[in-house]
Structure 1
Amino acid sequence: MPVVAAAVCPHPPLLIPDLASGAAPELSDLRELCLAAIEHLAAADSLVIVGSGPVTGTRYDATATGSFGPYGAPGVTVGSPTGTPVLPLSLAVGAWLVEQTKTAALPRVSITVAATETPAGCLALGQEIAQGNERIALLVMGDGSARRSDHAPVHLHPRAEIFDSTVAAALELADTDTLAALDPDLATELHAAGRPPWQVLAGATAMAGLRGHLGYHAAPYGVGYFVASWAL
């Protein structure tokens, strides 16, 4: 099967040390786990990064520029340092993480999926990504619910932890059926930005026979973060 490995990471801008300030040590374990998961993708022929964006299906090559200026670090960029910033946050964080690893040597493309994309549309995009003969690695960027605690960006929701626990179990087991069945309305209510990218992952790997490992699941700022590795 063309998809031979996948990694799932969150995309808070605080993963970038220049943005984290005093929180940098607090997130060091999460950052290192993300980098380790991405290192395991380097044996593929090419890399596809999937993350949320304004519309579904916009594609960027490795030279596309992303800037962390809007988050307080104008000097931190990815891609071409002289280009106009075009990458949404999810793909900019993904590109930054990749560029810290040997996986950066792979040819890569980054693809957006809209927050409002239907499950069927997400699965179809995943199936499209998996077509062809190249051995593809996926880096899937997505956060869980932003309603996990009273200190979350949006106030606590009673179903947030159950939703995220369901996702965590699916990532541990490489359970594409459960990811494909995530309710988009509930995900929207819970401010779970990862729902569309995870369903792209489900579409791309449904027949790949990958095995999962969940390396991280916590909500340090009231937002669910996951790190997972899938491999043959």
Structure 2
Amino acid sequence: MEKFYLMPHPPIMIEEVGKGQEKNIQKTINSCKQISEEISAMDVDTIIIISPHGIVFRDGIGVVVSDSLKGDLSKFGVNQVCLEFDINNKLTSEIIENATNKGITIAPLDQYTCTNYGANLELDHGALVPLYYVSKQKSYKLVHITYGMLSKLELYNFGMAISESVKKLNEKAVLIASGDLSHRLKDDGPYPYSPYGAEFDKTFLEILECGDMEKLLNMNQKLAKEAGECGLRSAYILAGAMDGLDVKGQVLSYENTFGVGYGVVKFNTNKSETKLSEILTEKQKNMATEKLSSGDEYTQLARKSLYYYYDKGHYLNEPKDLPHEMLNERRGVFVSLKKEGELKGCIGTIGAVTDNVAQEIIRNAVSAATSDPRFSKVKKEELGDLDISVDVLFEPEPCTINNLNVYEYGVIVSTINKRGLLLPNLEGIETVEAQVQIALQKAGITQDEEYLIERFKVERHKENNLDD
């Protein structure tokens, strides 16, 4: 790989869209032009671009496999700005094969598959805006990739697959990670202001500048989430593509004129004696081992039941040395699985359906990993990445909406043949009205129907790092 870059994608930086406002981010524009001139001076024929704004999958990475790709900025009121690129199908196919061999799910995108997903095959603005400047000097073939909501290590490994494929085919290519930084920098920005925004941008760019890719992967997830960014996952892939290299980033510019952070970074690299991927793999193994002994008896049992089921193919028998209440009490139990702060599965029982709490935990942990219809089945190699919480339910009691408290009580809404439940103290649910509305939606009950409201308390058990 010849070079690596991070570029933003605000359509307003294109004159036809900005109509004069683009001058307010002239440093960003100048930096993009500098990158364009630098790439055009290289012996490069392919641009590999990572975009956050194509078709984003929860459990896979979208890769365009059509012969060509074009798009315009009609969504931003300008259809005369239109770009079209031939796809480097040979390199694209090699990347897909390499990534698949690493266990990464790839969604090949052409006109047919996009139609099935209810989307259009087009050059999205996350790719079009950087390419608008890069392609000014010269024509290039394209590899178009949309990151997925995968784990940091999966995205990093995908970046490795990109570089390995380029090297194998002896391609002359550069990699551009497209991404804006925080969208919450000002009160009049596109999203509500957050004090985390400026902190994220400063931390993120400092990490890239010093080239500490391990520190990048360990960035505080709450900071990133509160900042409202769309560039971190692109950067994870970028980091993986630079595995085995000493990295130093050069921040060409940073601006936040419109309440969004626009950072332009180019990376200078040299061969390294060590590979971060090897360090990360070892740390992941150690973390998986540590988690088996972390938490209390409830979360430990849930985790042990998962490993046992994935190894043996059937349920674990409850251990006989568990606390009395786990072996002798019958209650409903919900088990929730998160991966890097994102829910991966949550299954439970409102009332007991087995002989004791331990059996409820064992079965619901497995169901959360394998049978939650909202998510793909958890892979065996993902078990060490999971954070687990176990909610033991107390008996529900009838109430009115005035007797609810989203932080203290869960809610059950029901009719004769429909029932929906929502646990208490869930992230993003701050009002009783929202809590009841979501429970109604889960049950398929409309506002016009007569329904019963019940409330319940839970005893929540969670692993130490669940909410980090």
The alignment's TM-score, normalised by the length of structure 2, stands at: 0.45
Find out whether 1:5 has 2:38 as its counterpart. Answer: no
Contact kept? 2:152, 2:236, Cα under 8 Å = yes
Contact 2:5 2:265 in 1 (8 A): yes
Task: Quote the offset at 1:101 in angstroms.
Answer: 2.8
Seen in structure 2, the aligned counterparts of structure 1 residues 128 and 162 have a Cα distance that, compared at 3 Å, is same
Structure 2: how far apart are the matches of 1:12 and 1:62? 27
Following superposition, the deviation at residue 67 of structure 1 comes to 1.3
Q: Does 1:93 align with 2:129?
A: yes
Deviation at 1:182, TM superposition (A): 3.0
2:141 — aligned with what? Answer: 107
**DSSP 3-state at the match of 1:130:** helix
The question of 1:65 aligning with 2:70 is answered yes
Larger radius of gyration: 2
Q: Deviations over 1:198-220 (max 9, x none)?
A: 11111111312343211112211
Change beyond 3 A, Cα 1:228–1:62: farther
1:144 corresponds to:
181
8 Å contact kept, 2:36–2:136? no
The 1:87/1:130 distance shift into structure 2, 3 A limit, reads same
Q: Following TM superposition, by how much is the alpha carbon of 1:44 offset from its aligned partner in structure 2, in angstroms?
A: 5.0
Note closer, same or farther for the CA distance 1:73–1:201 as it changes in structure 2 (3 Å cut).
Answer: same
Question: Measured at CA, do residues 61 and 212 of structure 1 come closer, stay the same or move farther in structure 2, by a change above 3 Å?
Answer: farther
CA distance in 2, matches of 1:19, 1:85: 22
What amino acid is aligned across from residue 2 of structure 2 in structure 1? Answer: V
Alignment of 1:21-40 (within 5 A): 21-40=19-38
Residue number among 235, 260, 274 corresponding to 1:223 in the alignment:
260
SS at 2:23 equivalent: coil
Specify which of 160, 168, 176 is matched with residue 127 of structure 1.
Answer: 160
Q: In 1, distance between residues paired with 2:78 and 2:228?
A: 25
**SS of 1:170 mapped into structure 2:** helix
Q: Secondary structure at the match of 1:230?
A: strand
- The total of aligned residue pairs comes to 225
1:50 maps to 50
Q: 1:85 to 1:14 in 2, by over 3 A?
A: farther
Output one character per residue of 1:151-175: Cα deviation in whole Å (capped at 9) or x when no partner: 2211211211111101111222232
Partner AA of 1:166 in structure 2: T
Counterpart check, 1:197 vs 2:234: yes
Structure 2 CA distance for aligned equivalents of residues 183 and 12 of structure 1:
25
- Deviation, 1:33, is 0.8
Q: Which amino acid is the alignment partner of residue 30 of structure 2?
A: E
Task: Note the residue ranges of structure 1 that are not aligned, 5 or more in a row.
Answer: none
C-alpha change, 1:76 and 1:31, in structure 2 (3 Å) is same
State the identity %: 23
**1:176-195 alignment, distance < 5 Å:** 176-195=213-232
- Superposition deviation, residue 177 in structure 1: 1.8
SS at match of 1:153: coil
Unaligned runs of 5+ in 2: 86-110, 112-119, 270-468
Determine the structure 2 residue equivalent to 1:154. 191
What is the identity, as a one-letter code, of the residue corresponding to 2:145? I
1:212 aligned to which of 217, 230, 249 = 249
- Over aligned residues, Cα RMSD in angstroms? 2.2
Q: Which piece of structure 1 moves more, 49-58 or 174-183?
A: 174-183
Q: Larger relative contact order (C-alpha < 8 A, sep ≥ 6)? A: 1
Q: What letter corresponds to residue 34 of structure 1 in structure 2?
A: C
> Secondary structure at 2:5's aligned position in 1?
strand
